[in-house]
Structure 1
Amino acid sequence: MRSLIIETSLIILLTLILYLFEPEAGKLLAYYHNGIAEGEIWRLISATFCHTNFNHLAMNVAGLIITLALFVDLFKTIKILPIIIFCSLFISLCLFFFDTEVIWYVGLSGVLHGLFSYGVITDIAKKDPWGYLLGAGLMIKIIDEQMFGASQSTVDLIAAEVLVNAHLYGVIAGFLFFTYKKYIIPLSVKIHSK
């Protein structure tokens, strides 16, 4: 549990520090399609920790705390930084290759969807009814966003368009990370131990 508190505190501290240095931090660290194409690959991860305004930052910090609290039994037993980095990379690479019209992006919400998805899938794998309920809610949210977009009130609050595909890619990333940890790592260990 101590490790989870430390990791969470460091992530929150990083996002707060970067926010204090906006707009310069965003210029250097935000997802810029052209910048990444020119070799600025740090943007694939660093964009996750930048935010458009204080409302955006506060919503994502609250979302991080709520997500980790909902799945505290899971997240207190693992390091969350690897899944955050994996989700950041996966989301940014999907945007880069599949949503080439997206030229700029910041925020933690896609990664939050990845953490949430990872928690849901882990609960479902354990046959926990809570996982099925949360999973249904997550799927309804993603389908709604894909069909109708984000709510105008959220767009107004964060002063930017909500990149709903980042949420979708985050959910997929959480599923892939679960699959990797559950099936690929044990298989690799089994093969190497022979």
Structure 2
Amino acid sequence: MLNLPLQPRYVFPPLCLIVLSTFLAWLGINNELEFNRQLIEQGQLWRLFTSQFVHANWAHLGLNCAGIALIWLLHGEYTSPSRYSFNIATLAIWCGLGVFWFCPTITIYTGLSAVLHGVIIWGAIKDITVGLKSGYVLFIGVWVKLIAEQINGPSADIGALINSTVAVDAHLIGAIGGALLGVPLIIKFISKNKE
């Protein structure tokens, strides 16, 4: 029998993220919120953050909502509403800044996928620190996927589905952010094992 994290404190945060992203898609305000390098350089700094929550189209949103649900299934019980909000907000800022600083060829960018790569890396580290061997498999698997994306480039099929180029460098930035968020977990894990 599946032991799903169905308590409200585990369900509410990812559900809010799905509702927020869906509401923004329904409003159709991408032009006001997307990562637009030219407008950011003119001072519209909110786009570094808000771009993570808008999507190229409904298929793009659907893929990211599926990712939110998958991460909830894997790691929902690890986060409180405050921890979930902190991780999402921190990674959203990190990814926006990372794309701005390290991906000069990206002029327009939207979507949660970079943030979700960070969240799943953080969850894999948490798995490892609570003694789940599957955390190692997940951690390594995500990095293998990221390396494959760096070598082979973005998926043309996914790009066609979302009517946009998949920002594989943003995925890498998100995963690095998730690993950095996991550093306190690793430090605590190491110090606990030394006792």
Deviates more, 1:85-94 or 1:1-10: 1-10
Judged with a 3 Å threshold, the aligned counterparts in structure 2 of structure 1 residues 140 and 182 are, in CA distance, closer, same or farther, namely closer
Task: Please state how far the C-alpha of 1:3 moved relative to its aligned partner.
Answer: 2.4
Give unpaired runs (5+ residues) of structure 1. Answer: 185-194
Task: Please state how far the C-alpha of 1:73 moved relative to its aligned partner.
Answer: 2.6
Task: Please state how far the C-alpha of 1:79 moved relative to its aligned partner.
Answer: 2.5
1:154 is the counterpart of 2:155 = no
Query: Which of 163, 166, 170 is the matching residue for 1:166?
Result: 170
TM-score, structure 2 as length reference = 0.87
1:19 is the counterpart of 2:15 = no
The Cα RMSD (Å) is 1.8
Judged with a 3 Å threshold, the aligned counterparts in structure 2 of structure 1 residues 90 and 136 are, in CA distance, closer, same or farther, namely same
The equivalences for 1:74-93 within 5 A come to: 74-76=78-80, 79-93=83-97
Q: Residue 190 of structure 1 corresponds to which residue in structure 2?
A: none
State whether residues 13 and 81 of structure 2, in contact with CA within 8 Å, keep that contact through their aligned partners in structure 1.
no
CA distance in 2, matches of 1:137, 1:78: 28
Deviations along 1:63-92, one digit per CA (max 9) or x if unpaired, are 001012111231358631111111111111
CA distance in 2, matches of 1:136, 1:95: 23
Task: Please state how far the C-alpha of 1:114 moved relative to its aligned partner.
Answer: 0.6
Q: Secondary structure at the match of 1:91?
A: helix
CA distance in 1, matches of 2:76, 2:89: 19
1:7 is the counterpart of 2:52 = no
CA distance in 2, matches of 1:77, 1:50: 21
Query: Number of matched residues?
Result: 182
1:131 is the counterpart of 2:138 = no
State percent identity of aligned pairs: 30
Q: Residue 192 of structure 1 corresponds to which residue in structure 2?
A: none
Deviations along 1:77-124, one digit per CA (max 9) or x if unpaired, are 863111111111111111111111211100000011010000011222
Q: Residue 4 of structure 2 corresponds to which residue in structure 1?
A: none
CA distance in 2, matches of 1:63, 1:171: 14
The equivalences for 1:9-158 within 5 A come to: 9-22=15-28, 25-76=29-80, 79-158=83-162
TM-score, structure 1 as length reference = 0.87
CA distance in 1, matches of 2:147, 2:45: 30
Deviates more, 1:160-169 or 1:35-44: 35-44
